[in-house]
Structure 1
Amino acid sequence: MILTVTPNPSLDRTYEVPALHRGEVIRATGERMDPGGKGVNVSRAVAAAGRRTVAVLPLGGAPGALVADLLHAQGIEVAPVPVTGATRSNIALAETDGILTKINAPGPELTAAERAHLLDAVRAQSRTADWIACCGSLPRGLAATWYADVVTRAHADGTRIALDTSGPALLEAVRARPDVVKPNAEELAQAVGRPLATIGDALDAAERLRALGARAVLASLGADGQLLVDDAGTWYGSAHVDTVRSNVGAGDASLAGFLIAGGNGPDALASAVAHGAAAVRLPGSVMPTPADLDPTAVTVTADVPVDRVLGEPAV
């Protein structure tokens, strides 16, 4: 079982539009409403693969109730922590050329009692978990050290933990030695305080996170593929994608694929790449099923193309 923890979940509305023009009326060609948040998306991808997952998340108000209903409808077990503030609602505008514009609300501020209940829920649910995936931003009311505390508790209970966050929360948490962290290129650049122009730069940044304490780094580089760096070695994975429909949740699908495949080594990296490539071909934040995957399009190698220039350099 894969347990996900999403401290700042959302109700996500995605509109597909021909093009985005400021100040004009834009008629959407498609729309979706999904439960949102990085950990929520990981649970959705795990459930789509036919595996058991439990989602721990604070929920409040009508948007929170709708998030829970949508998760239940997708076969996901929900361990809600009731909060007084309403769960945030986010908007994504997906253009036909693949450009995505997102508007993310801040979310509610958790009280001291709600913070304690959230930690208790994670510990209670983790007793039967093979992995805990802690994902996303921290809501107001949670200190930057919160993820680090969860990592320490998980390891004390003998549970492996994956982390997908950014900024001070990431830097604090890596010192607690999470089993794997999954930054994207922008988050890598922010963590090491320097721009990334090549895959070699991304590799150096991943090694820096390992030096700070992360046991393994799974780095998503968008269209430029993914890197896996751990004690056993370094691998680079990529997949050809003809058409990008939406990249919402693609990194979360990748993390789910990685954990589903065991969470270590080149086979898990191949699964991560396959899941991420499948996700970008789907609308909104739809998570791929096994039928959507194309393992034959995936290449994994220990020969990392360090001189390859990133299509979208990270600063």
Structure 2
Amino acid sequence: MIVTITPNPSLDRTYELAALAPGEVNRAAHDRLDPGGKGVNVSRALAAAGHRTRAVLPLGGFSGQLLRELLRRQGIEVAPVAIDGDTRINVSVAEAHGRLTKINAVGPELSAAESAALLSLVREDCRGNGAGWLACCGSLPRGLAPEWYAELVAQVHSGGARIAVDTSGPALLAALGARPDVVKPNREELAEAVGRPLLTVGDALEAAQELRERGARQVLTSLGAAGMLLVAEEGRWYGSAPVAVVRSDVGAGDASLAGFLGAGGTGPEALAAAVAHGAAAVRLPGSVMPAPADLDPAAVVVTADIPRERPLCG
């Protein structure tokens, strides 16, 4: 069982069109509505791969009810905490040439009672369901302090579950001191954490090692088109897979984390699964999570010979 916690979930509306014309009426060729939020996406990818997963999340208003129903239809167990505010709705515009424009709502503010209820539910849910992993994912909503994830990691670790943290900024830095089993920053989040730009794979490798020195047991870093890195006590590995056309990168990092955890959450085999899931996700529309039929494991290359001089794109 893999439990996910998404403190600031969303409904994600994605519009696909040839090209966005700002200030004008735009007509979408396709649109879709998906459950959103990083932990929600991890659960969706795990469920698509046949893993049992349970999503803990605060839900409020009609959008919260709809989010719960969409997850139920995908075979995901939902453990909700009722809140007074409405679950947010995010909008993405995907253009044919690959550019993606995202508008993310700030989301509701949780009260002290709602925050405590969410923390308690995650802790008890992990213990009651014998969770092997807890994935703490996404931004913290208003009302939750940056140390909220760190407190959660400390409490759930004592119950025996392993912890993955996928967040950024002060919440990530605070969580490092609680010794999570893996953190999964992307390039921008990793650069923010160490306070300097990252221009090459070698730069990212050094930054990931710094996060290990600050407390993370493993660092799984997604570098976009430049691949992925896994830095752990047992070794350091680099993985990549070719992608001819990127349709949407929404949720690709979440799919990667799901692949990593579903494959055991450690070592080069788990990194290979992460790369395969991420490469499959960017070929799909909106925030659709890949199913096993979408994966191409044979295209993935994982090596301990890290290409330090390879430039990072963008």
TM bucket normalised to smaller: over 0.9
Among 193, 200, 206, the residue aligned to 1:204: 206
TM-score normalized with structure 2 length: 0.99
Deviation at 1:57? 0.2
The answer for the alignment partner of 1:240 in structure 2 is 242
The answer for the alignment partner of 1:45 in structure 2 is 45
How many Å separate the matches in 1 of 2:194 and 2:17? 36
Question: Which secondary structure does the structure 2 equivalent of 1:133 belong to?
Answer: strand
How many Å separate the matches in 1 of 2:203 and 2:24? 41
Deviation at 1:152? 0.3
The answer for the alignment partner of 2:181 in structure 1 is 179
How many Å separate the matches in 2 of 1:26 and 1:113? 43
How many Å separate the matches in 1 of 2:299 and 2:24? 40
How many Å separate the matches in 2 of 1:309 and 1:222? 11
Deviation at 1:17? 1.2
The answer for the alignment partner of 2:306 in structure 1 is 304
Deviation at 1:155? 1.1
How many Å separate the matches in 2 of 1:59 and 1:107? 11
Deviation at 1:125? 1.0
Among 278, 282, 286, the residue aligned to 1:276: 278
1:124 partnered with 2:124? yes
1:229 partnered with 2:231? yes
Deviation at 1:218? 0.2
How many Å separate the matches in 1 of 2:67 and 2:24? 31
CA RMSD in angstroms, aligned pairs only: 0.5
The answer for the alignment partner of 2:191 in structure 1 is 189
Deviation at 1:156? 0.8
The answer for the alignment partner of 1:59 in structure 2 is 59
> What letter is aligned with 2:241?
A
Question: Which secondary structure does the structure 2 equivalent of 1:66 belong to?
Answer: helix
The answer for the alignment partner of 1:108 in structure 2 is 108
Report sequence identity in percent. Answer: 70
How many Å separate the matches in 1 of 2:141 and 2:100? 23
Deviation at 1:275? 0.3
Deviation at 1:115? 0.7
Deviation at 1:154? 1.3
Question: Which secondary structure does the structure 1 equivalent of 2:102 belong to?
Answer: strand
How many Å separate the matches in 2 of 1:255 and 1:22? 34
How many Å separate the matches in 1 of 2:193 and 2:313? 20
Question: Which secondary structure does the structure 2 equivalent of 1:191 belong to?
Answer: helix
The answer for the alignment partner of 1:82 in structure 2 is 82
Question: Which secondary structure does the structure 2 equivalent of 1:310 belong to?
Answer: coil
